[in-house]
Structure 1
Amino acid sequence: MGLSGATSGSDCASISSTSGNNIAWTTTWNWVGGTGVKSFTNIQLNAGINQKLSAISTIPSTWNWEQTSSGTVVADVAFDMFTSTSAGSSATNEIMIWLANFNAGPISSSYNSAGQPNPVATGISLAGHTWNLYTGSNGANAVWSFLPSTSGTTITSFSGDIMTFFTYLIQHEGLSSSQFLTTLQAGKRRLLVPLPSPPLHIA
């Protein structure tokens, strides 16, 4: 997804601490050149998934993170989830909740005259924040992306129920509640990072 096109780069992650359901880690990374996603260091939930969305009542999540960097960073910080028609099968849908957008942008089926993606819904109130929703295709599956409604907003402290985002899509966007949640990840996707070593701290 762009890794081979990078002029140079690396990504190194390490676990800082674990306690009960809490985990903290740090990532130091540096990518130069090319296009596309270079890396996506993330924490993945394995317990309780591969169930139909209709069988899941709540997915509580708290995520606190910070970044130090210099220069222009092209990346996003997001929850990244996939659903499919059966447990463990190929993805049908990708659902993302962007907490930060660093010079990147969501997949969209349409763009305005300035080349900016057009949201399919705006001002959606979920998990204590207000979101715009974008939809499109990555060539393999449908993609829904929730981004903060106010451009440039970075949510460094998130606490909410991820299931409310699925419920919104079921009620308003035609996502089937019989889809299986097969993947739930949270991390940072690097598209192009021209300067070295901006560590990401996530707890």
Structure 2
Amino acid sequence: MRSSPRHPLTARTLFGALLTVFATLAALVAVAPATQADTTICQPFGSTVIQGRYVVQNNRWGTSATQCVTATDTGFRVTQADGSVPTNGAPKSYPSVYNGCHYTNCSPGTNLPARINGISSAPSSISYGFVGDASYNASYDIWLDPTPRTDGVNRTEIMIWFNKVGSIQPIGSPSGTASVGGRSWQVWTGNNGSNDVISFVAPSAISGWSFDVMDFVRQTVSRGMAQNDWYLTSVQAGFEPWHNGAGLAVNSFSSTVNTGGSGNPGNPGNPGNPGDPGDPKASCKVTYAPNVWEGGFTADVTITNTGSSPLDAWKLSFALPSGQRISNAWNATVSPSSGAVTASGLGHNAQIAPGGSQTFGFQATYSGSFARPTGFSLNGTACA
């Protein structure tokens, strides 16, 4: 077998080869992307931005003891949480991540504040990391106000308690239960001296969930603690610790607010607040006609298409007041039976022509005083 000719390796050849290798390595180092280091914040009200769109805040106000949070690419973790406060009072802090505006600090590119009746949906997702040796809640904090304010305390605070560890309880007192987002919640209502608070407390720990924030907003409106022409100003998620808290983590967080218009007076330069003067009117109208007796009622609901295009496969969402439960329906399927419900057209009435209307109805029971539902939206668009 013929062998390949070999060439002697001279010193000059070896030196040239080494120069080529070094140049290649230098080029690779020059173009390698730098990994963003985690940012640790120990200032009481220090903050930083993650993903170019959310703000992570330390937000320590109830103690002089040190608290530090480390912002990651997708969330944050509490790395130091010294000190304790009595569990029958306010927590010591609210380390959190948010979309929106908090005391003039607005997250980049947010379309909040946005008017409630101009928001079609506000999907959010969370993944929590819990610890045992502490007293805390893991909670969302959702703020509503009659004005598109970006500073100070809002009128109404919605809290969603995903987990509760230790002898702590929400502000106020229990006011029943509610089905929101397909889950059952214990509901507490009260006032902390600065704002009204409604808290939805999970019966058992929820470590992760994807849901629509507007389900809780509409439930709050249905209870008279906000109005449809108020503004959603921020969606926050984090922890309220009373004792310890090191190791708590938001592993991941996302928040989006979907609106049907443009122009946001509460945060100039950012889109997303329909419903203000000069914006297009809603393309649907809902007429609600109840027949009420003690403990029960029927309701005929008429949907009118005031737009210029047909509405196919219509779905009407609205919030039943607390204590109301649907027992049967006609000309539509309605589910669930209480809380935030959705009525869907059937085969024979699934389309609404421009200028046309469809009517469906249901029978229901109620406790306490009768009230009308609120927050009607058709295929994601708020109705007049």
Superposition TM-score tier, normalisation by shorter sequence:
0.7 to 0.9
Residue from 249, 262, 266 that aligns with 1:200: 249
* Separation of aligned partners in 2, 1:100 and 1:24: 18
Is 1:184 aligned to residue 240 of structure 2? Answer: no
Q: In structure 2, do the counterparts of structure 1 residues 2 and 53 end up closer, same or farther at CA, with 3 Å as the change threshold?
A: same
Is 1:81 aligned to residue 81 of structure 2? Answer: no
* Separation of aligned partners in 1, 2:248 and 2:197: 28
Residue from 101, 104, 107 that aligns with 2:164: 101
Q: In structure 2, do the counterparts of structure 1 residues 83 and 174 end up closer, same or farther at CA, with 3 Å as the change threshold?
A: closer
Q: Equivalent residue for 1:112?
A: none
| Deviation by residue 1:90-120 (Cα, 9 ceiling, x = unmatched) | 4111111110111221011xxxxxxxx4x21
Is 1:40 aligned to residue 101 of structure 2? Answer: no
Is 1:146 aligned to residue 210 of structure 2? Answer: no
Residue from 138, 151, 155 that aligns with 2:206: 155
Amino acid at match of 1:42: S
Q: Equivalent residue for 1:120?
A: 175
Structure 1 gap segments, 5+ residues each: 18-22, 109-116
- What TM-score, normalized to structure 1? 0.79
The question of whether the paired residues in 2 share the 8 Å contact of 1:31 and 1:38 is answered with no
The question of whether the paired residues in 1 share the 8 Å contact of 2:144 and 2:226 is answered with no
Query: Shift of the alpha carbon at 1:201?
Result: 4.1
Residue 95 of structure 1 aligns to a residue in which SS?
Answer: strand
Return the structure number with greater strand share.
Answer: 1
Q: In structure 2, do the counterparts of structure 1 residues 198 and 176 end up closer, same or farther at CA, with 3 Å as the change threshold?
A: same
Q: In structure 2, do the counterparts of structure 1 residues 12 and 33 end up closer, same or farther at CA, with 3 Å as the change threshold?
A: closer
* Separation of aligned partners in 2, 1:27 and 1:128: 30
Residue 121 of structure 2 aligns to a residue in which SS?
Answer: coil
Query: Shift of the alpha carbon at 1:174?
Result: 4.6
- What TM-score, normalized to structure 2? 0.43
Residue 219 of structure 2 aligns to a residue in which SS?
Answer: helix
Q: Equivalent residue for 1:111?
A: none
- Worse-matched range after superposition: 169-178 or 90-99: 169-178
Residue 57 of structure 1 aligns to a residue in which SS?
Answer: strand
| Deviation by residue 1:155-180 (Cα, 9 ceiling, x = unmatched) | 10111101001111222335211111
Aligned residues: CA RMSD: 1.9
Structure 2 gap segments, 5+ residues each: 1-60, 101-109, 253-384
Residue 159 of structure 1 aligns to a residue in which SS?
Answer: strand
Q: Could you tell me the percent identity over the aligned residues?
A: 23
Amino acid at match of 1:62: S
More contact order relative to length (CA 8 Å, sep ≥ 6) = 1
The structure number with the bigger radius of gyration is 2
Residue from 117, 120, 130 that aligns with 1:54: 117
